[in-house]
Amino acid sequence: MELLEKFKEYIAKENLFTAGDKLLLAVSGGLDSVVLADLCHRCGFDFLIVHCNFQLRGEESERDERLVSGFAVKYGRKVQAGRFDTADYAAANKISIQVAARELRYRWFEGFVREGQARWIVTAHHLDDNIETMLMHFFKGTGIAGMRGMLPKQGNIVRPLLFARKEELRAFAVEAGLEWVEDSSNESDKYTRNFFRHQLLPLVEQAYPAAASNLADNLDRFREVEAVYRRAIGERLKKLREYRGNEVHVPVEKLRKEQPLATIVYHLIEPFGFSPKQVGEVIALLDSATGKYVRSAMHRIIRNRNWLIIVPLMENEAEHILVEEQRTVVGYAGGELRFERLDAAQLRTLDQGPAVALLDADKIGYPLLLRRCKAGDYFYPLGLRKKKKVARFLTDNKLSLAAKQRVWILEMDQKLIWVIGQRIDDRWKVGPGTKRVLKIAFAESAGDATRRPGGATKSSGGAAR
- In this prediction, residue 455 carries a pLDDT of 36
DSSP state of 445: P
Instruction: Assign 413 a pLDDT band (cuts: 50, 70, 90).
Output: confident
Does residue 229 surpass a pLDDT of 80?
yes
**CATH topology agreement for domains 2-221 and 241-313:** no
- In this prediction, residue 412 carries a pLDDT of 93
Among 242-256, 278-292, 395-409, the least confident range? 395-409
Does residue 451 surpass a pLDDT of 60?
no
Does residue 454 surpass a pLDDT of 60?
no
Among 131-145, 217-231, 338-352, 421-435, the least confident range? 338-352
- In this prediction, residue 446 carries a pLDDT of 58
In the predicted model, what is the mean pLDDT of residues 414-436?
Answer: 93
Superfamily name and number for 2-221? HUPs (3.40.50.620)
- pLDDT tens figures, 131-165: 999 999 898 877 788 899 999 999 999 999 999 99
* Domain 241-313 grouped into CATH 3.30.465: yes
Rounded-to-integer distance, Cα 453 and Cα 48, Å: 64
Name the residue ranges covered by the structural domains of the chain. 2-221, 241-313, 317-460
The contacts of residue 401 (CB under 8 Å, 6+ apart) are none
In the predicted model, what is the mean pLDDT of residues 395-405?
Answer: 88
Q: Give the whole-number percent of the chain exceeding pLDDT 90.
A: 72
Task: Answer for the pair 461, 352: CB distance below 8 angstroms, yes or no.
Answer: yes
What is the bridge-based pairing of β-strands 153-154 and 436-444? unpaired
Among 283-287, 321-325, 391-395, the least confident range? 321-325
- pLDDT tens figures, 233-277: 999 999 999 998 889 999 999 999 999 999 999 999 999 989 889
Which residue stretches of 70-165 are H helix? 71-75, 86-93, 97-114, 127-140, 144-147
* Domain 317-460 grouped into CATH 3.50.40.10: yes
In the predicted model, what is the mean pLDDT of residues 364-391?
Answer: 91
In the predicted model, what is the mean pLDDT of residues 170-183?
Answer: 95
- In this prediction, residue 349 carries a pLDDT of 66
In the predicted model, what is the mean pLDDT of residues 394-399?
Answer: 92
- pLDDT tens figures, 326-374: 889 999 988 999 999 999 887 766 666 889 999 999 999 998 999 999 8
| Nearest C-alpha neighbor of 409 from the set 425, 386, 398 | 425
What is the bridge-based pairing of β-strands 22-26 and 120-122? parallel
- In this prediction, residue 128 carries a pLDDT of 95
- In this prediction, residue 291 carries a pLDDT of 87
The contacts of residue 379 (CB under 8 Å, 6+ apart) are 387, 388, 390, 393, 416, 419, 425
- 0.95 surpassed by pTM: no
Instruction: Assign 1 a pLDDT band (cuts: 50, 70, 90).
Output: low
Instruction: Assign 65 a pLDDT band (cuts: 50, 70, 90).
Output: very high
- In this prediction, residue 350 carries a pLDDT of 64
Rounded-to-integer distance, Cα 160 and Cα 261, Å: 37
- pLDDT tens figures, 286-319: 999 988 999 998 899 999 989 999 998 887 778 8
- pLDDT tens figures, 103-133: 999 999 999 999 999 999 999 999 999 999 9
Rounded-to-integer distance, Cα 341 and Cα 429, Å: 14
